[in-house]
A and B are shown apart, each in its own frame.
Chain A
Amino acid sequence: QQPVQSPQAVILREGEDAVINCSSSKALYSVHWYRQKHGEAPVFLMILLKGGEQKGHEKISASFNEKKQQSSLYLTASQLSYSGTYFCGTETLGTGANSKLTFGKGITLSVRP
């Protein structure tokens, strides 16, 4: 079952902040965030692990609420280069050695001058 991302789309001006969310109905081990620009491959942004560890981008922050199975990505002082589609991928607890990511449908974020 795909995680649910919200809002569906975000439009903001350079310098503004944005928060995008990812919610799952299953207990999670980790949440991954990727950004994809039009016609290009997705690019890794961040991993948030159960227990609080984070790995990823210096200028983007995120949170992971394990009890609510939710993650939020915080984009501050947005730049034109932040435009793209943001995907979260969730790794479910208990899948063992055959773990996989299940991606949400993505959120389109547009930063305007």
Chain B
Amino acid sequence: DGGITQSPKYLFRKEGQNVTLSCEQNLNHDAMYWYRQDPGQGLRLIYYSQIVNDFQKGDIAEGYSVSREKKESFPLTVTSAQKNPTAFYLCASSMLDFDRGLSEQFFGPGTRLTVL
């Protein structure tokens, strides 16, 4: 079955530690996205990538880093510089069609990160 996987589902870390969240897709999508979700805040874009080895900052990129070495994978690292990292993190992917605007995004099941 095609889809997006995120692991782990729940993650606990001590304050000051970096942590990497995994996101893999087998939909052959070019674009991948990372969102942060906090209660009452909606989905806020952290980083996105439209092609391998290239990515752009979203609205709340400070304290986060990403890489896109393979089309299928877009891991997110939450660094110790992120002041309030406890949140629900969602990864998404979509096809790209520059003539017709953004396509529908397919979301992974999410990772709930708790920093103690």
Contact surface of A with B, Cβ cutoff 8 Å: 2, 29-30, 32, 34, 40-44, 47, 49, 55, 87, 89, 91, 97-106
Contacts and interface: CB of A to CB of B under 8 A. Distances in A.
B101 A87 contact: no
B90 A41 contact: yes
A29 B56 CA distance: 20
B107 A41 contact: yes
Contacts of A102: 45, 59
Interface in B17-41: 33, 35, 40-41
Interface of B: 33, 35, 40-45, 48, 50, 56, 58-59, 90, 98, 100-110
Given A91-B102, A97-B50, A100-B48, A41 B43 contact: no
A100 B45 contact: yes
Contact of B104 (A44, A87, A98): A44
A44 B103 CA distance: 10
Contacts of B103: 47
Contacts of B107: 41-43
A101 B105 contact: yes
A69 to B, nearest CB: 15
Nearest to B109: A41
A40 B109 contact: yes
B104 A100 contact: no
Nearest to A5: B42
B44 A103 contact: yes
Contacts of B43: 42, 87, 89, 103
A57 to B, nearest CB: 11
B42 A105 contact: yes
B110 A41 contact: yes
